[in-house]
Structure formats: structure tokens, C-alpha cells
Chains A and B, each alone.
Chain A
Amino acid sequence: MSRITRLAAKIPGPDTGIEVKKSLCTICDPLTQCGLDVYVADGRIIKIEGSEEHPFNKGALCAKGAANRQYVYHENRIKTPLRRVGPRGSDTFEPISWDEALDVIGEGCVSAKSEYGSESVIFFSGYTKYFRPYLRRLARSFGSPNYCTESSTCFMAMAMAQKLVFGAPGGPDMANTDCLMVWSSNPYHTAHGRGAAIDRALSRGMKMIVVDPRQTPTTSRADIHLRPRPGTDGALALSMANVIIGENIYDADFVSNYTYGFEEYREYASTFTPERGEDLTGVPAAGIRAAARMFATAGRACVMPSASPVVHHTNGVQNYRAVFMLAALTGNYDVKGGNFVEPPSYLYVSGKMKTQEEEFENPKPLSEMAARIGNDRLPVWMEVANGEAQAMLIPEQLRTGKPYPLKCLIGFGMNYRMWPDSEGFLKSWQNLDLIVNTDIFMTDTCRQSDIVLPACTSLERSELRCHAMGYVQLSSAAIEPLYESRSDVDIVFDLAKRLCPDDPLFKQGYRACVDWILSPSGLTVDELERNPGGMFLKNPIMPPERKYKNGARTPSGKIEFKSKILEKYGERPGFESLPVYTPPKYSPEAAPEMAKEYPFILNTGSRLPMFIHSRVNHLSWIHSLRSNHPAADINPEDAKSLNIAQNDDLRISTPFGSIEVKANPTEMVMKGVVHMFHGWGSADVNQLFEWDYLDPISGFPGYKSSLCKIERIGGARR
């Protein structure tokens, strides 16, 4: 083959000058990242592929990851640090040097600290996640308890539900289970490596139950698909418990020896007959019975939870507690093939290795600092979440200045549209003295900031990740950072020089800090750098089963059907110690008057395969899969009865606002539900929610069920 042909086909080799560099994709961040083969010629990326040796993606990519080249070279990249020169939000900026930008931020934070205290400075991380241990240490070393992340709307509430029941969360052991119950997740569109793992397990005979209001590739592969109305998961789980207890197919030995509160739970679940379950959830009683029997009798069974769909409800934590209790009821907690507990290693992932990440992140105890944002309203978050502030309460504290004023907001990958009543949140920013956002692209949030810092993509820097299969990777930079952009970690370390100059670890630099964190594992930066595509651990740590026998990490020391932590707040509505089912605050059941005018359930943010939040909305490769004109997915029967056709203009309204979008009728959606993807600048669905439409335990917004109406714009079709 001629060199010209090989060049045209982008074949790597000495003759073409094309090199393959190993990197990681962090466009989405499910914590288990896909390995990338980056084809580079003359310092420029010409092609992206998945790394075949990477145990998670095994050479494959999703549409978003395959679009990395467009992502890296998009014209909307921020090229230099910027300082606002006009009024806030006027989108008038001037380029400044890195030193100047960092000095302005340093001086702003230090002066806020001396006048109002360190707690007046908020440190926030959106995507990505790799720099979080360093950002959290920066906040703590500076003295601020207000380190918070997008986990204020994702993942954490699910972990809280598990911690309240089990003490230590357990993940689904898919490789060894006989029955996987996927509760509101569609990995075929969100984390393809996990979808491929399900395919492998199904081909060896694993049974699968999928609970999801939508119809997805995951539900189409299921033995049983249960389709509850959004927000009724708790009632469904309690009805399944009713069957499992009533038919005496629960694990009586486990329940009597290792659990607390069973008798009250049994009594409560006894009221949730499958027939009542059908009334409450819309799932046929026969389906509830069949799923309960399969889960309890298939052998080893486990629950695969999702990070946000179930907990994006005003009753989310209680609902997920009821779901996880099914694993307890059947003795499937902390056993092979069940919800198995592995201690976290690094960046939320149980990677079969030991690190001192937690020690690194917490140079000073929280007890020496002021109370975190959300402290008074969310005592359970403060007790069982991982030490973060609850960012959903920032708007209220900004507006009231109580219990103390907030003055600086130092954001990395921050997007104000993550908050309910997003425009209201933006208005509250007038009470801040300094707003900083670090991002790859000039986003709407950057345009509202005072200082904007250009971050580079994951292909232009290195990051450390570990994986559940005992694989660890310190990726390499495939190309030099474009323009004046820098790695977020470098920015954090330069801020540390200004905010906490005496911090003994920051002073030694990033590499030394990674070595320090890794030291219990025996791994070093040097060794990892010699394996830029990643490596399997030589001695992966395999923890034993049934660690709860030595005492579960709950107040009772047992698995709790009745939460001793929630018991302390029993008089507050929503904090019941049993997994009490309450319909979503704005649902046909709980708000029948409102439902007369707003008859549809509004469900926002359910994943589509080509989008991840708003991160790739600007790429033409992505638009070629689904238009960049925001569209709502609605059921075809609903569309027909409202005389709505494909691509008609549609108005979605709640009592709090309205947006205009296109109509996309699809059988994916159940009747009576409207699915609207989030994060669109021209149709921001989060404006349609009140700021305090929150779960009382976790503070998570109820994005997956409110009430709305939809109408065709432009009058009736003739």
C-alpha cells in the first residue's frame, strides 16, 4: 500500500508519521472512564479510537467519545484567562495573564476570609471529576467547609439511601449474579461498557428485571420490565416486599440475625398488596408478583441502581431505601453475586487498591470550621454524605445572608442551569463579590462570571483513575494544551500558593501529591507513567464476604429496615424512620387540583445516547444524530390526542414558567409523561421548577416528576 493511501486512511507508522498516544475520555464521567487511542500527526489529533486493551471499553466508544476530536478543536474553546470589563452578564471580557487572573482570585478569597471568614468562599466542582481530591484539599486547607460538587444533584442521594440501610454501599456483582434488577438505568445509552457486561451476563443465563418508566435497549433485553409512573418506586418496592414476605421467600436467617426493625417494616409492607401497588404505580399486580418471585428465588440477586433518576424526586431517598431493602430482605447484601461491598479506593471507585485519598482531602477536620451550606435544613446530608456542602442551598443562603454571608464562588466546570429555578439562582449572584469559572468552552455560566479560566481537555493533560476490575491508569497528554489553556490540577496548585501557602503537601507539587496518595498501594507515578494506557494491579485486594457480621456501619450495627439516623428527626415530614411512601409533591395523587390544569408528569434529564448534560451540544457530529433544537419526547397517543405531530412547536408550562421546544413523539415514553432533556440555553427546563422543590433528606431536586401542561403553538392543526 502506498504511503499516500496509508496517510489517507490514517494508518499509524514511521512512514506516515502518525503516532498513537494513550489517553482517557472524560466527556462523560461515570467514574469508570474509557481508554482512548489518540492518533496524532504533527502535534495534531487526526482520529480517535477506543483502546482495545482497556478493560472497561475494550476498544469501543460511544458517540460522544468518538466526537473527541471535534470537542478538542471546537472554536468555542476559551483561549486565555479573561476578566470581565462591562457589567455582569454583558459578555464583555478582556484577556489577562495567568498570574494576573490567579492574583485577582487569590486576593479576592483572602480578603473575603479576613472580613467574613473562610466559609464565605465556596469551591464548586462540576465536570470533570479528576481534580476533586485537590480542589477539596484546597478548600479545607484554606479553611472553608463549603466544598461542593455536582454530586448535590447526582449520585450522593443514592449513596445516602444505601448508607442509611446498610452503613456501607454495595455495588451489583454482575459477573456472579443470577438475577440483576436494574432500577431505572439504561447503561446501553449511558455507560456502554456496563451495557456490554450485561450482554455477557445475559448470554451465560443471568435473569434480568428492569424497572423503568421508559422503554429502552435495557428494558427490551429484560425478562421482566416493570413500568412505574415516575416517582412511585417506593410503593413498587414495598409491594414487592409484600409478596416476598407474604410468600415466605425472604432470607429469614439473615433478617433475624443481622437486621434491625424488621417487624415494623413487615407490618408497614403488609399494607402494600400488589393490587394496591398497581393502583399506586401503574404496574400490573401480576408483574409485581412475578418480579418479586424472580428476585427472591433466582439464586443470587442484586440491585443495579442509578445515580439520579430515582433520587430526583421529592421522595427520592425514601423510595431508594425501600428498593435497597429488597437486597437486605433476600440476604443479598455483601455476598458474591449480590450487592457486594468493596471499600472505595480513589475518586469514588472501588478499585481493589488502598490509597490515602481521604487523608489527603481532609487536612483539617470539618469540626474546626463553620457549618456547611445546608446545615440546618439537611441534617442527614450533613451526617451521612461525604463531607460536601449541599450546593442546592446556595441560592437561599445568597439571598438571605443567613446563617452567614457568602462572598466568593470559585467554580470548575460550573453550570448554573444545574439548579432548579436556574434564572433565580443567577439573580442571587449579585450578592457575590467574586465569581470565577474554569471551563473548556465559553459557556453561559462563564459569561456571567468575573474571571474565566481556560481548562484543557483530558487529551491535553494527565489524570489518575482506577477501575473496578483492578486496573489503574495515569493517562498521558496526547497533545500539548491548546492556546493558553491549562490542566485544572495545575490551576488548583497555583491557587494553593495564594490561598494556603503553608500547606506542606501542595508545596511539593502535583506529582509528589499523587505519590503520597498512592503510597499505601505500592504504586508510584514513575511506574504508572511507564504504562500510559494503564495496568492491572499485581496484587488486587479482594475483600471477604459478609463484613457486616462484625457489625454494620449503622448506629444499630445491623442492616436497618428502620433507620436510627432518621429516627432522630422523626417529627420532620419526609424523615420517617421506616421507608414510608409519599407520592411526589407535585403529582396527580398529591396535588389533584394542580393536576387538573397541569395533567402531565414532567420528567427532565432522562438520558439520550448522544448527549451528556450540555457538554457536547455544540458539536455538529452530535447534531447529526439528534437536532440541536431542543425537543421534548412525548408518547404517540398523547401526541395524537393533542393533535401534535413530529417537530411541531410545543410549549411546556408549569406554574413557574414555560419553554418552547419541538415535539418528538416516541414509544420510549409512557403515556402521560413528558421527557425533556436538560441544559439547553434556549429552552432551560430547570426554569420550570421552584428553587426548593427538593427531597427533604438529600436536598436533591425533584427533576424526575413535577406537573406540566403541553400545547401546540400556532393553534389547532387543520
Chain B
Amino acid sequence: MIMTRAIMTDMGRCVGCGACAVACMDQNDVFPEKGGTSCRRIYQMEYADGHGAVIQYLSAGCQHCDDSPCLIACPTGAIYRDEGSRANLVDRNRCIGCHSCALACPFGVPRYDADDKMLKCNLCTGRVEAGMKPACVRACAFGALNFDDPNKFQDDKESRYANGLAGAFAKTR
């Protein structure tokens, strides 16, 4: 049995370098000059508050929701859930380019290629089945992208927090 795993973005580690986006295009033979788009996109957000600015980077991609609005909205059944990986995948042959998924997705994920077929992250299911990491995760230098059980990710995060809190408390004694 394959454990449910997801690509988790650690916002504290992402530096907006774009390696994940390029690795995705290399893996999936996506070429922007032919109308293709990477399934990971990089955002640099800036918040100025008078005391200086905070710059936050984010590598964004499909969340592969359990209760997927895109899947529900798709009139042809082109979007389906892969039983093993629990990834939401697109059957290009069934996609009619109606953009219903675009209307439904709250995250703005679906994109359309030169043939107006929906293009999105497939969670590198072929790679994962062969024991490899998704291409974007593999490229990330800073551990900003992780492919794991979401609970494992939360365990790590909580233990980092616990360490910091316990350490700070210990110093006060």
C-alpha cells in the first residue's frame, strides 16, 4: 500500500530560486515558447510596514485536494483521482478545453496548453511509483519542497517548535 503523500511547501525555507519550476518543465517536456507552463510557479510577495519590509517567496502548485472542486466541475470526467497516489490527474483525450476547472479551482492552478488542454501537476506519479521523488522536490536545495505524509511534515515542524520553546524556557531557569 502506498502511503498518502503530498508536496508540502515550507514557507520559511523557500528562496524563490525557481529550480523547482525549471525541473518540472524538464521532467514534463514543457516549453514556454510552445505555449507550455511549468506546474510550479514562483511568487515573490512583499509587505512593507514602515519598519522595513518582509519579502516572502512561494513555490505554488496544485494541492491535489481530497475534495476537489476541479474534479467535481469537470463535465467530461477528464479529471480523475488516481487510486494509488491519490493525485488528481487529467486525461488529455477527454479534456474539451471548457475551462470549468479554472472556474472551480480556488487556487488558480489549471492552465491550458497550445491545444487548450488542461495542464497541471501530476505529482510525478510515474517517478514516485519507481521510488523517486517528484522532479521539483528533487531539485530543491533548501528543503522548501518536501514529498511526504503531511503528518510527518507536521511532526518535524512541531518538534522544531518544541525544541525552540523548550530551549528558550530552559535558559530562563
Residues of A near any B CB (own CB < 8 A)? 1, 5-6, 8-11, 47-50, 57-63, 65-67, 69-70, 188-189, 192-193, 195-196, 199, 215, 217, 220, 609-610, 620-625, 636, 666-668
A contact residues around B78 at 8 Å (CB): none
Q: What residue of chain B has the Cβ atom nearest to residue A50's Cβ?
A: B139
Q: Is the CB of A217 within 8 A of B23?
A: no
Q: How far is the CB of A206 from chain B (nearest CB, A)?
A: 15
A193-B141, A609-B15, A620-B32 given; A63·B132 CB < 8 A: no
Q: Which of B64-72, B97-105, B121-129 contacts A (4 or more CB under 8 A)?
A: B121-129
Q: What residue of chain B has the Cβ atom nearest to residue A199's Cβ?
A: B142
B contact residues around A609 at 8 Å (CB): 15-18
Q: How far is the CA of A610 from the CA of B19 in the complex (A)?
A: 9
Q: Is the CB of B19 within 8 A of A62?
A: yes
A contact residues around B130 at 8 Å (CB): 1, 6, 9, 11
Q: How far is the CA of A624 from the CA of B23 in the complex (A)?
A: 12
Q: A47-B27, A610-B18 are in contact. List 11 more A-B contacts (CB 8 A).
A: A49-B23, A60-B138, A60-B141, A60-B142, A62-B19, A188-B142, A196-B141, A215-B52, A217-B57, A625-B21, A666-B46
Which one of B15, B42, B124, B140 contacts A625 once the chains associate, using CB atoms below 8 Å? B42
Q: What residue of chain B has the Cβ atom nearest to residue A205's Cβ?
A: B167
In the complex, which residues 23-61 of chain B have their Cβ closer than 8 Å to any Cβ of chain A?
A: 23, 25-27, 31-33, 37-38, 42, 44, 46, 48, 52-55, 57
A8-B126, A9-B126, A667-B48 given; A624·B25 CB < 8 A: yes
Q: How far is the CA of A608 from the CA of B140 in the complex (A)?
A: 17
A57-B141, A196-B141, A217-B15 given; A621·B127 CB < 8 A: no
Chain B 125-155 interface mask (CB, 8 Å, partner A; 1/0): 1110110100100111111000000000000
A217-B15, A220-B55 given; A49·B138 CB < 8 A: yes
B contact residues around A6 at 8 Å (CB): 126, 130
Closest 7 CB pairs of A and B: A9-B126, A667-B53, A60-B141, A192-B141, A63-B18, A66-B22, A217-B15
Listed by A's residue number, 13 A-B pairs whose Cβ atoms lie within 8 Å are: A9-B124, A9-B126, A49-B138, A50-B138, A60-B142, A66-B22, A195-B141, A609-B17, A610-B18, A620-B31, A621-B21, A621-B25, A624-B32
Q: How far is the CA of A609 from the CA of B25 in the complex (A)?
A: 17
Q: Is the CB of B25 within 8 A of A188?
A: no
Q: Is B13 on the interface with A (CB-CB < 8 A)?
A: yes
Q: How far is the CA of A179 from the CA of B26 in the complex (A)?
A: 39
Which one of B16, B23, B42 contacts A66 once the chains associate, using CB atoms below 8 Å? B23
Which one of B15, B16, B33, B127 contacts A11 once the chains associate, using CB atoms below 8 Å? B127
Which one of A5, A621, A668 contacts B126 once the chains associate, using CB atoms below 8 Å? A5
Q: How far is the CB of B100 from chain A (nearest CB, A)?
A: 26
Q: How far is the CB of B107 from chain A (nearest CB, A)?
A: 19
B contact residues around A623 at 8 Å (CB): 32
Q: How far is the CA of A70 from the CA of B19 in the complex (A)?
A: 14
What's the tally of chain B residues with a CB closer than 8 Å to chain A? Answer: 40
A contact residues around B21 at 8 Å (CB): 63, 621, 624-625
Most buried by A among B37, B46, B141: B141
Q: How far is the CA of A217 from the CA of B144 in the complex (A)?
A: 13
Q: What residue of chain A has the Cβ atom nearest to residue B125's Cβ?
A: A9
Q: What residue of chain B has the Cβ atom nearest to residue A4's Cβ?
A: B126
A contact residues around B132 at 8 Å (CB): 11
Q: Is the CB of A215 within 8 A of B53?
A: yes
Q: Is the CB of B17 within 8 A of A620?
A: no
Q: What residue of chain A has the Cβ atom nearest to residue B128's Cβ?
A: A9
B contact residues around A65 at 8 Å (CB): 19
A62-B141, A667-B55, A668-B55 given; A188·B19 CB < 8 A: no
Q: What residue of chain B has the Cβ atom nearest to residue A69's Cβ?
A: B26
Q: How far is the CA of A622 from the CA of B46 in the complex (A)?
A: 22
B contact residues around A1 at 8 Å (CB): 126, 129-130
B contact residues around A70 at 8 Å (CB): 26
A contact residues around B31 at 8 Å (CB): 620-621
Q: Is the CB of B139 within 8 A of A621?
A: no
Q: Is the CB of A625 within 8 A of B22?
A: yes
Q: How far is the CB of A631 from chain B (nearest CB, A)?
A: 13
B contact residues around A620 at 8 Å (CB): 31-33
Most buried by A among B13, B37, B130: B130
Q: Is the CB of B32 within 8 A of A60?
A: no
B contact residues around A624 at 8 Å (CB): 21-22, 25, 32, 37-38
A63-B18, A621-B32, A625-B21 given; A195·B26 CB < 8 A: no
B contact residues around A196 at 8 Å (CB): 141-142
Q: How far is the CB of B155 from chain A (nearest CB, A)?
A: 17
B contact residues around A667 at 8 Å (CB): 46, 48, 53, 55
Q: Is the CB of A67 within 8 A of B124?
A: no
Q: How far is the CB of B90 from chain A (nearest CB, A)?
A: 14
Q: How far is the CA of A272 from the CA of B47 in the complex (A)?
A: 34
Q: How far is the CA of A233 from the CA of B52 in the complex (A)?
A: 21
Q: How far is the CB of B102 from chain A (nearest CB, A)?
A: 20
Q: What residue of chain A has the Cβ atom nearest to residue B33's Cβ?
A: A620
Q: Is the CB of B15 within 8 A of A188?
A: yes
Q: Is the CB of B19 within 8 A of A63?
A: yes
A contact residues around B26 at 8 Å (CB): 47-48, 66-67, 69-70, 621
Q: What residue of chain B has the Cβ atom nearest to residue A192's Cβ?
A: B141
B contact residues around A195 at 8 Å (CB): 15, 141-142
A contact residues around B125 at 8 Å (CB): 9
Q: What residue of chain A has the Cβ atom nearest to residue B163's Cβ?
A: A203
B contact residues around A63 at 8 Å (CB): 17-19, 21-22
Q: How far is the CA of A62 from the CA of B15 in the complex (A)?
A: 11
A contact residues around B17 at 8 Å (CB): 62-63, 188-189, 192, 609-610
Q: How far is the CA of A65 from the CA of B140 in the complex (A)?
A: 12
B contact residues around A189 at 8 Å (CB): 15, 17
Q: What residue of chain B has the Cβ atom nearest to residue A2's Cβ?
A: B126
Which one of A9, A50, A67, A192 contacts B22 once the chains associate, using CB atoms below 8 Å? A67
Q: How far is the CB of B159 from chain A (nearest CB, A)?
A: 12
Q: How far is the CA of A620 from the CA of B21 in the complex (A)?
A: 12
Which one of A8, A61, A199, A610 contacts B139 once the chains associate, using CB atoms below 8 Å? A61
B contact residues around A636 at 8 Å (CB): 46, 48
B contact residues around A5 at 8 Å (CB): 126, 129
Q: How far is the CB of A544 from chain B (nearest CB, A)?
A: 33
Q: How far is the CA of A1 from the CA of B124 in the complex (A)?
A: 13
Q: How far is the CA of A70 from the CA of B29 in the complex (A)?
A: 10
